[in-house]
């Protein structure tokens, strides 16, 4: 007897890639291929989501301050302006370094939105993660936090949502009382406990007014100035090496350039300061250093042997934060 030929189902019509929604990794791919999503269109989507964006805040006003608030400043807020205006019932949107219980965002009882900046994120594009959280916060129920979730690979970024014509103006706080605008006494026990822990861990920090994105901070042993700079890394290292070799890279007696961080595609030089040197005492030396640095950045002559040694020392004392 002849074997029966297996019946084949009619192939599902495939849809265009741009129309394919995100589904669970083990679910059939919506394109109709018959494969699981993770082995089909989910593979490209996962790659797009996890690919690291080196400068997530590039193009936003105050990119250097975005980096500082993300990595260096304990307690700060910034009023954000959304393109096209805010939805009805949302009086304001405020970026905050940290929120209670590490919430990604919070829709307050009055409808205003707080967006947390220092949270862990699910993808390699911090700007896309924050934009997704902001969009969900704008439509959340008043009085509710916004949870973290997987971000669509083709979702908008902060650069798509925020009005780039508005300056980025951080306000640095001594503590986290801004979490509870009325009174800390009205906070829930969980928020009150989180507030107490955050305040205890906060390092006193002040933003300098005379130069951009420079932050003084106080620690038990010595103070520091951490200055996020927008210049290309190789050019900035050369310029700092020229100053260091000439003995003009410090901020005055008892201070010294000790190294730098690398964060979100930008360099953050760090100076050690005497414990008695406050933020106000840093203003004039920082402005003078900015002038010396500007001249050094314009120099394109080859580095001398001494400058190359200085550059090597600075490079060896770099730490990558992100």
| Distance, CA of 291 to CA of 41 (rounded, Å) | 52
* Among the listed residues 146, 316, 145, 164, the one whose alpha carbon sits nearest the alpha carbon of residue 244: 316
CA 73 centroid distance within chain = 11
Q: What does the pLDDT read at residue 49?
A: 52
What are the φ and ψ backbone dihedral angles of 258, each rounded to 5 degrees?
-105, -10
User: Do residues 251 and 271 touch, judged by C-beta distance below 8 A?
Assistant: yes
Q: What does the pLDDT read at residue 51?
A: 78
Q: What does the pLDDT read at residue 239?
A: 98
Q: What angle do CA 183, 208, 244 make, to 5 degrees?
A: 145
- In sequence order, the 6+-apart residues with CB closer than 8 A to the CB of 159 are 59, 60, 127
pLDDT in tens, the chain (322 residues): 444 444 444 444 445 444 566 555 567 888 888 887 667 766 655 554 567 899 999 999 999 999 999 999 999 999 999 999 999 999 999 999 999 989 999 999 999 999 999 998 888 999 999 999 999 999 999 999 999 898 888 899 999 999 999 999 999 999 999 998 775 566 788 888 888 999 998 999 999 999 999 999 998 889 999 999 999 999 999 999 999 999 999 999 999 999 999 999 999 999 999 999 999 999 999 999 999 999 999 999 999 999 999 999 999 999 988 6
User: Do residues 15 and 30 touch, judged by C-beta distance below 8 A?
Assistant: yes
Which helix H or strand E contains 127, and what residues bound it? helix 126-138
Q: Which two tokens stand for residue 173?
A: 């706080």
User: Do residues 117 and 96 touch, judged by C-beta distance below 8 A?
Assistant: yes
Q: What does the pLDDT read at residue 39?
A: 76
| Distance, CA of 57 to CA of 158 (rounded, Å) | 8
Q: Which two tokens stand for residue 55?
A: 């400068």
| Distance, CA of 290 to CA of 309 (rounded, Å) | 22
Q: What does the pLDDT read at residue 184?
A: 56
User: Do residues 315 and 267 touch, judged by C-beta distance below 8 A?
Assistant: no
| Distance, CA of 95 to CA of 97 (rounded, Å) | 7
Q: Tell me the whole-structure pTM to 2 decimals.
A: 0.83
Q: What does the pLDDT read at residue 9?
A: 43
User: Do residues 78 and 69 touch, judged by C-beta distance below 8 A?
Assistant: yes
């Amino acid at each position: 007897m002849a074997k029966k030929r297996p019946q084949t189902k009619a192939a599902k019509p495939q849809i265009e890639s741009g129309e394919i929604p995100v589904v669970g990794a083990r679910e059939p791919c919506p394109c109709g291929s018959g494969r699981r999503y993770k082995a089909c269109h989910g593979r490209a989507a996962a790659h797009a989501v996890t690919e690291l964006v080196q400068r997530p805040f590039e193009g936003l006003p105050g990119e250097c301050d975005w980096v500082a608030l993300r990595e260096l400043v304990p307690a700060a807020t910034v009023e954000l302006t959304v393109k096209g205006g805010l939805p009805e019932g949302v009086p304001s949107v405020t970026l905050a370094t940290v929120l209670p219980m590490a919430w990604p965002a919070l829709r307050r009882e009055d409808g205003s939105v707080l967006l947390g900046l220092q949270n862990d994120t699910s993808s390699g594009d911090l700007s896309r993660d924050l934009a997704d959280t902001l969009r969900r916060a704008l439509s959340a129920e008043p009085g509710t936090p916004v949870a973290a979730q997987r971000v669509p690979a083709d979702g908008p970024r902060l650069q798509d949502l925020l009005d780039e014509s508005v300056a980025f103006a951080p306000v640095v706080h001594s503590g986290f009382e801004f979490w509870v605008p009325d009174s800390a006494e009205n906070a829930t026990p969980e928020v009150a406990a989180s507030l107490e822990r955050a305040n205890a861990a906060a390092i006193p920090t002040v933003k300098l007014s005379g130069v951009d994105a420079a932050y003084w901070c106080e620690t038990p042993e010595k103070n520091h100035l951490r200055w996020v700079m927008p210049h290309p890394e190789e050019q900035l290292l050369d310029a700092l090496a020229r100053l260091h070799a000439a003995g003009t890279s410090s901020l005055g007696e008892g201070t010294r350039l000790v190294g730098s961080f690398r964060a979100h595609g930008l360099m953050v030089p760090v100076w050690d300061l005497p414990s008695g040197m406050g933020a106000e005492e840093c203003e004039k030396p920082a402005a003078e250093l900015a002038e010396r640095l500007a001249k050094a950045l314009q120099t394109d002559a080859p580095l001398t042997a001494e400058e190359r040694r200085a550059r090597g020392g600075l490079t060896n004392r770099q730490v990558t934060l992100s």
